[in-house]
Structure 1
Amino acid sequence: MRVNCTTCGHKGRISSREEVTRAYVKLYCQCLDAQCGHTWVSTLSFSHTLRPSAQQLDTLILDRFKSLPADMQRKLVEHMGRDRPAA
């Protein structure tokens, strides 16, 4: 990740970071131009998901299944049992 000085526009570097939450991080930065020497804090934050993680798919399906009425859950389980190939 590249940062630029907010004062002179020269390249800067991230000297440290503070993770406030998993979705919000404070970046402590310093300008690499010795004549400027500006230091500042920038923030990095999560905005939104474009495609859910494949690792979350099982959880999403199970949560959705649990939110269905009992009769609908039973119908789905019965339907899944019919579609299984013989072993």
Structure 2
Amino acid sequence: MRILCTVCGKKAVIGKTDRLSVALTNLYCSCTDPECGHTFVTNVSFSHTLSPSAKTATEVVSALARALSPEQRKALQQELAF
């Protein structure tokens, strides 16, 4: 992905990425033109799906469950127990 400086239009580099959610990320950027030196934050966000994932619902749920902490997994198991 190419980020351009919003002031001079030259190439900018991403110094830090701050993932706010699955669908939104803040990119902390700096212009590579030493005469400009502009630093800024730009957002990258999910818009919409063009083609659905080939993964099954079970694979998606399993991947999400693995990302939880042990405490969160235990709470989820208790919540799903019928």
TM range (shorter): 0.5 to 0.7
- TM-score, normalised to structure 2's length? 0.67
The number of residues matched between the two structures is 58
- Residue of structure 2 equivalent to 1:26: 26
- Residue of structure 2 equivalent to 1:13: 13
Deviation, structure 1 residue 32: 0.1
- Residue of structure 1 equivalent to 2:40: 40
| Structure with higher helix content | 1
Note the alpha carbon deviations across 1:39-60, whole angstroms, 9 max, x for none: 000000000111110103xx29
Q: Which runs of 5+ in 1 are unaligned?
A: 61-87
Runs of 4+ with >6 A deviation: none
Q: Which runs of 5+ in 2 are unaligned?
A: 59-82
- Residue of structure 2 equivalent to 1:71: none
- TM-score, normalised to structure 1's length? 0.63
Percent identity reads: 48
